[in-house]
Copies of this chain bind each other. A is one copy, B any other.
Amino acid sequence: MDTRTVGILGGGQLGRMLVEAANRLNVKTIILDEAVDSPAKQISNSKDHIIGSFNDPHAIEELASKCDVLTIEIEHVNIEALKNVQTKYPKLKIYPTIETISLIKDKFLQKGHLTKNSIAAVKSIPIPENTVDNLKQIGNELGYPFVLKSRTFAYDGRGNFVIKSQDDIVQGLVTLKDRPLYAEKWAPFIKELAVMVIRSIDGKIFSYPVVETVHQDNICHLCYAPARVPDSIQETAKLLAENAVQSFRDCGIFGVEMFLMEDGELFVNEIAPRPHNSGHYTIDSCVTSQFEAHLRSILSLPLPKNFTQFATSNTNAIMLNVLGGNTANSELEFCKKALETAGCSVYLYGKESRPKRKVGHINIISSSMKDCERKLDSILGVSSTITPQSDRKSPLVGIIMGSDSDLPVMSAGCKILEQFGVPFEVTIVSAHRTPHRMSKYAIEASQRGLKAIIAGAGGAAHLPGMVAAMTSLPVIGVPVKGSCLDGVDSLHSIVQMPRGVPVATVAINNSTNAALLAVRILGSYDNKYFKLMNDFLLKQENEVLLKAETLEMLGYEDYLTKAK
């Protein structure tokens, strides 16, 4: 796709997934890594890979001499060496830029850069010298607890120490001795969010969905995409991440980690100028993966419109990191469970299994987060009540009625849904006698995965309309015939909704048609049900044709006799 060669400083799993994307596009890559057989090198037989540290000036120069574009999979690289090769090879492109790497590599400089650019970040204070007195003064200023952090070479929680009170100061200085330190105010966050953002060469910003990361022992354990937070918070997080990345005059992918506080406030925690663990879900769930998007942007190759979006409008994903088990390769047990589970993709990095080492990840994709969570539980063996292949069906249609006296009428609808194999639930919800239960039912319906609600009611029939007022799902109303007015009261109460809140009304007592309508609604997007409805209509037609044939054959008098 391109004749230019891309050099990558670092050959771990991030490099490996960059190389996989490059292989598919026939883009040549050269890896600089100390290991002969690092994860990235394993999947490229180039003779040009270099054995050496991404901090070694000679190795970096050798890499630069062979490449047109340099990029990184880790920011802890030798800045001086990069400056030298840029001088020596002025045509060489380096993304992220040396300036960005310098700013980000030193976490205190990073925080300063963000603050200078009005990006909300946790308050940070420099520590000119690592002394107890200095830290006591900081404790007075920031309050306890605060976090002592290494400015450089900190990742997966290493390089951080929480100072809970003055008594911890000495231990903190011992643990992080000889490191350049700074102090950060304690951020009692309720969730960690993250956004992958692409900055194109001409300064355009494209952000991937907002995700939620869950850490265990300071290592990323899970990533939920999209984040399980309200839309308004997702929107704010997206803007914060976009503004943060916009502040770097650069090109390529950035990972922005954020803290969400109880009051909804958001702070940038830190930024990575490269592919990121919180973006692995993009491989299976977004239009273009973070790895391919990074490559295409640093090579100025085209990217489609909305390339950062989910592949379908109802994609949900959970990424589960595979960490080495306590005994070597014991983690493969749950990887095997993932292989058994539909919608799961397993990515192993070709690394030796060591306890807690990131050796792979699993992407779990489904049309609902609830289903992703169920699959995750099954993989992790969390719940024994779950069927091994996570094929327990959540209801797609809810049938509710104002009173059990409506059940004889509504049961015909249940039979139809059973006949079509539609998972459904049926219960009693009365607008007038259980108004709070009704609200709860309506409000939670969509989150529980329902796609349509069928509500039956008689007389002053308020249930269908009231439920419709509290959900965005389609609500189908069945007017149930009461003791007077022949059901016209129910019909008019249900169908004559004011502008703004529709109820899909069917004929009086005709819950059969309500269920068939629900199947048609499912069939709009799910071919399985569409085909079943086609078959149903054909069967109906054939039944009538058969009767016609019989009537023609027997004559009307015999037919009437036999029909009895």
A residues with CB within 8 A of B: 1, 20, 23-26, 37, 41-45, 49, 231, 287, 296, 301-307, 311-314, 332, 335-337, 339-350, 360, 365, 367, 389, 391, 446, 451-452, 469, 472-476, 491, 495-508, 510, 512-514, 516-517, 520-528, 530-531, 533-534, 537, 540
Contacts and interface: CB of A to CB of B under 8 A. Distances in A.
A24 B537 CA distance: 46
Contacts of A520: 472-475, 502
Nearest to A335: B1
A340 B302 contact: yes
Contacts of A349: 26
B452 A524 contact: yes
Given A43-B43, A303-B340, A491 B495 contact: yes
A437 B182 CA distance: 76
B313 A528 contact: yes
A307 B342 contact: yes
Contacts of A346: 1, 24-25
Contact of A23 (B42, B304, B499): B42
A472 B311 CA distance: 26
12 contacts: A42-B45, A45-B49, A231-B534, A287-B343, A313-B528, A473-B523, A474-B504, A474-B521, A502-B516, A504-B504, A504-B505, A525-B526
Contact of A1 (B26, B312, B332, B343): B332
A342 B306 contact: yes
Nearest to A367: B312
Contact of A525 (B296, B303, B348, B524): B524
A49 B42 CA distance: 13
Contact of A505 (B287, B495, B540): B495
A25 B521 CA distance: 39
A508 to B, nearest CB: 7
Given A23-B42, A336-B302, A512 B495 contact: no
A497 to B, nearest CB: 6
Contacts of A365: 311
Nearest to A504: B504
A520 B522 CA distance: 12
A235 to B, nearest CB: 11
Nearest to A510: B499
B500 A314 contact: no
A19 B314 CA distance: 31
A42 B44 contact: yes
Nearest to A40: B45
A284 to B, nearest CB: 9
Given A45-B44, A346-B24, A504-B517, A296 B339 contact: yes
Contacts of A530: 446, 472
Given A23-B42, A304-B344, A524 B451 contact: yes
Given A44-B45, A340-B303, A348-B1, A503 B506 contact: yes
B472 A533 contact: yes
Q: Which of A302, A343, A350, A367 has the most CB of B within 10 A?
A: A302
A545 to B, nearest CB: 14
Given A1-B335, A45-B43, A313 B502 contact: no
B525 A342 contact: no
B507 A350 contact: no
Contact of A540 (B496, B500, B510): B500
A502 to B, nearest CB: 4
Given A26-B350, A474-B521, A504-B506, 18 more contacts: A23-B42, A24-B346, A25-B348, A26-B348, A43-B45, A287-B342, A304-B389, A311-B343, A314-B526, A472-B537, A473-B524, A495-B495, A497-B513, A499-B513, A500-B540, A501-B513, A502-B513, A502-B516
A43 B516 CA distance: 52
A452 B517 CA distance: 11
Nearest to A27: B348
Contacts of A508: 496
Contacts of A507: 495-498
Contact of A347 (B24, B451, B498, B533): B24
A213 to B, nearest CB: 22
Contact of A342 (B41, B231, B296, B304): B304
A362 to B, nearest CB: 11
A23 B43 contact: yes
| Those 6 A-B pairs whose CB atoms lie nearest each other, nearest first | A504-B504, A502-B513, A472-B533, A525-B525, A502-B517, A26-B348
B473 A500 contact: no
A335 B473 CA distance: 41
Nearest to A396: B524
Nearest to A527: B313
Contact of A497 (B350, B469, B491, B510): B510
Nearest to A472: B533
Nearest to A523: B472
A248 B314 CA distance: 41
A306 B452 CA distance: 26
